[in-house]
């Protein structure tokens, strides 16, 4: 009994150290649950009805990236993230073209709510065939639009708060420059601008296979989209937020940080005031927000006193995916003076969303489980 009591106390104090004494950790998925090896690549939004929707890769056989047997899955919460419904696949290409499911994988979801209509859009990348490849390397995705050559830009829609979903729509021919090797959504969430324009962060590989980051936008509720120019190159996954002055900030994963562990290690940050026709380097670029080269999340939120706050989450380390941290900025991302450490030992991909006006939610890959959800009161940031 003494041994069991000691082990219980050890685990209890470890959890306090890891997550804080008052912060509940809700596990969305542990490895192997729901007949699925691993959940990865979270994205989350709060719908017009106050439902939290979490989407992610359901990687059935292993943790590895495409190509493999994987669908885009969904979990819903109607009580502010306290409980979550059983995960269901919402984008599943099954045995398309006579090829097995492990050659029809879907990955890297982005989720966006049209605030005017309530419609929810989830996009992802689909690879058909090409076993043993990766869309970001070599011939894993090639120029052109053919499903036999290029990874595809796919989208599903829901008009009933995420309860049912359309069949996958293929947007590759409408969006991808055929000279490019790849064009794909950036995992995470899209946004609505103050004027109702929908904006989605995106990424790709140009005609030479070199990566870039940009965005696309729609003024007709997602029927058609306009692509911006690249904000940066040698970059990939990115997050977008609208600043108080109406400009757009793109916060970007930068491949240079694989080697750069100096004071210039950090997220690439660019800003546009013309919907991505032209871009300027932000003052926080490469220095304010360290990264080990990993996806991150950025959102904005308007406080009742009129201030617009930015929240940012990523593994706060130059060297490895650890120290999952949420930061706050009140000066349009110039400085990030307040931060909250959530997971000392782990943390990789993450997605932020407001649960209510005074509560921030985060869905992330943790050291405790494949994917967890936590809430942070804005008062913890002094707001």
Whether residue 262 contacts residue 274, with contact meaning beta carbons closer than 8 Å, is answered with: no
Condensed to tens digits (0 to 9), the pLDDT of residues 183-222 reads 999 999 999 999 999 999 999 999 999 999 999 999 999 9
Sorted by sequence, the CB contacts under 8 Å of residue 103 that are 6+ apart come out as: 67, 127, 128, 129, 130, 131
Per cent of the chain over pLDDT 70 is 94
In the residue annotation, 237 being an active-site residue is answered as yes
Q: What is the pLDDT of residue 23?
A: 86
Q: What are the distances in angstroms from CA 343 to CA 181, 311, 325, 346?
A: 36, 17, 7, 6
Q: What is the mean pLDDT of the chain?
A: 94
Q: Give me 165's structure tokens.
A: 């979903």
Q: Is the pLDDT of residue 141 over 60?
A: yes
Q: Is the pLDDT of residue 13 over 60?
A: no
Question: Which domains can be identified in the chain, with CATH numbers?
Answer: 26-381 (2.120.10.10)
Condensed to tens digits (0 to 9), the pLDDT of residues 347-358 reads 999 999 999 999
Sorted by sequence, the CB contacts under 8 Å of residue 334 that are 6+ apart come out as: 282, 283, 284, 288
Sorted by sequence, the CB contacts under 8 Å of residue 343 that are 6+ apart come out as: 18, 19, 322, 323, 324, 364, 366, 367, 368
The Cα 325–Cα 315 span in angstroms is: 6
Q: What is the pLDDT of residue 19?
A: 43
Q: Is the pLDDT of residue 1 over 70?
A: no
Condensed to tens digits (0 to 9), the pLDDT of residues 249-265 reads 999 999 999 999 999 99
* pLDDT confidence bin for 20, thresholds 50/70/90: very low
Q: Which of 119, 142, 237, 291 is catalytic?
A: 237
Count CA atoms closer than 13 A to 383's CA, side-chain side. 27
* pLDDT confidence bin for 14, thresholds 50/70/90: very low
Per cent of the chain over pLDDT 90 is 94
Q: Is the pLDDT of residue 317 over 70?
A: yes
- At residue 16, what are phi and psi to the nearest 5 degrees? -60, -45
Q: What is the pLDDT of residue 21?
A: 43
- At residue 317, what are phi and psi to the nearest 5 degrees? -155, 145
Condensed to tens digits (0 to 9), the pLDDT of residues 111-137 reads 999 999 999 999 999 999 999 999 999
**Angle at CA 309, nearest 5°, toward 304 and 314?**
140
Q: What is the pLDDT of residue 3?
A: 40
Q: What is the pLDDT of residue 22?
A: 66
Mean pLDDT over residues 314-334, rounded? 98
Whether residue 130 contacts residue 124, with contact meaning beta carbons closer than 8 Å, is answered with: no
Q: Is the pLDDT of residue 277 over 70?
A: yes
Greatest CA span in the chain, whole angstroms? 68
* pLDDT confidence bin for 11, thresholds 50/70/90: very low
Condensed to tens digits (0 to 9), the pLDDT of residues 52-76 reads 999 999 999 999 999 999 999 999 9
Which residues on adjacent β-strands are paired with residue 341?
A: 325
Which residues on adjacent β-strands are paired with residue 152?
A: 126
The Cα 120–Cα 224 span in angstroms is: 15
Nearest to 207 by CA among 177, 175, 237: 177
Whether residue 320 contacts residue 292, with contact meaning beta carbons closer than 8 Å, is answered with: yes
Q: Is the pLDDT of residue 8 over 50?
A: no
Q: Is the pLDDT of residue 288 over 90?
A: yes
Q: What is the pLDDT of residue 316?
A: 98
* pLDDT confidence bin for 269, thresholds 50/70/90: very high
Helix/strand/coil (H, E, C) string of the chain? Answer: CHHHHHHHHHHHHHHHHHHCCCCCCEEEECCCHHHCCEEEEEEEEECCCCCEEEEEEEECCCCCCCCCCEEEEEEEECCCCCCCCCCEEEECCCCHHHCCHHHEEEEEEEEEECCCCCCEEEEEEEEECCCCCCCCCHHHCCCCCCCCCCCEEEEEEECCCCCCCCCCEECHHHHCCCCCCEEEECCEECEECCCCCEEEEEEEECCCCCEEEEEEEECCCCCCCEECCCCEECEEEEEEEECCCCCEEEEEEEHHHHCCCCCCCCCEEEEECCCCCCCEECCCCCCCCCCCCCCCEEEEEECCCCCEEEEEEEECCCCCCCCEEEEEECCCCCCCCEEEEEECCCCCCEEEEEEECCEEEEEECCCCCCEEEEEEEHHHHCC
């Amino acid at each position: 009994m003494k041994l069991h009591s000691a082990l219980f106390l050890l685990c209890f104090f470890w959890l306090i150290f890891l997550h804080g004494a008052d912060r509940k950790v809700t596990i969305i998925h542990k490895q192997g649950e729901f007949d699925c090896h691993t959940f990865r690549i979270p994205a989350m939004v709060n719908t017009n009805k106050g439902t939290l929707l979490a989407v992610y890769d359901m990687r059935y056989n292993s943790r590895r990236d495409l190509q493999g047997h994987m669908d885009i899955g969904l979990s819903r919460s109607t009580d502010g993230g306290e409980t979550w419904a059983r995960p269901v696949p919402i984008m599943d290409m099954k045995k398309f073209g006579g090829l097995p499911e492990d050659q029809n994988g879907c990955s890297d979801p982005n989720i966006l709510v049209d605030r005017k209509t309530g419609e929810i859009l989830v996009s992802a990348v689909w690879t058909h065939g090409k076993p043993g490849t990766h869309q970001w390397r070599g011939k894993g995705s090639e120029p052109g639009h053919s499903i036999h050559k290029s990874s595809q830009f796919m989208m599903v829609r829901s008009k009933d708060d995420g309860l049912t979903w359309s069949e996958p729509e293929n947007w590759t021919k409408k969006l991808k420059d055929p000279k490019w090797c790849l064009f794909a959504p950036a995992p995470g969430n899209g946004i609505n601008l103050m004027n109702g324009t929908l904006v989605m962060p995106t990424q790709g590989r140009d005609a030479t296979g070199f990566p870039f980051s940009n965005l696309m936008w729609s003024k007709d509720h997602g029927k058609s989209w306009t692509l911006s120019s690249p904000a940066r190159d040698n970059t990939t996954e990115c997050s977008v937020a609208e600043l108080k002055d109406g400009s757009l900030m793109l916060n970007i994963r930068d491949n240079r940080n694989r080697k750069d562990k100096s004071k210039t290690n950090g997220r690439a940050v660019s800003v546009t005031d013309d919907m991505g026709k032209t871009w300027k380097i932000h003052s926080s670029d490469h220095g304010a927000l360290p990264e080990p080269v990993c996806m991150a999340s950025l959102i904005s939120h308007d406080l009742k006193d009129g201030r617009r706050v930015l929240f940012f989450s990523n593994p706060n380390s130059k060297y490895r995916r650890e120290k999952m941290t949420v930061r706050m900025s009140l000066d349009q991302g110039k400085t990030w003076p307040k931060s909250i450490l959530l997971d000392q030992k782990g943390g990789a991909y993450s997605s932020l969303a407001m649960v209510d006006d005074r509560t921030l939610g985060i869905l992330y890959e943790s050291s405790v489980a494949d994917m967890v959800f936590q809430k942070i009161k804005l008062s913890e940031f002094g707001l």
